[in-house]
Amino acid sequence: MEIKYVSVENSVAEWADKKSILKRWEGLNLYTLNRWIKEMRENKRFSLYVINPTHKLVFINLEGFECFLRWKQKRTK
């Protein structure tokens, strides 16, 4: 099954699959993305930003993903 998001009348996407995240965040590799998605799922604060309707399909909220990255950045300082 292949699902493709098609924006409607100049609307801005709120959710993305892994491929879209990798395109949007150049330099990010699949291995790191998978680790971060796992970390988001395990954190109560960020788990609502990851949806797994099937075992192979995952959608990540773009705003939530950016919040997660900013949170990680603050923790490393």
Q: Which residues pair with 15 in a beta bridge?
A: 61
Domain count, the chain: 1
Taking only Cα atoms into account, the Rg of the chain, rounded to an integer number of angstroms, comes to: 13
Residue-range definition of the domain harbouring residue 42: 15-76
pLDDT at 73: 94
Residue 6 lies in a domain: no
The whole-model pTM stands at 0.81
How many angstroms separate the CA atoms of 17 and 21, rounded?
6
Residue 2 lies in a domain: no
- What is the full DSSP assignment across 10-66? TPPP-EE-HHHHHHHSTT--HHHHHHHHHHHHHSTTTGGGEE-SSSS--EEEHHHHH
pLDDT at 76: 85
Q: How many CB atoms lie within 10 A of CB 47?
A: 13
Return averaged pLDDT per consecutive 10 residues of the chain, 77 residues in all: 59 86 93 98 98 94 97 89
Residue 72 lies in a domain: yes
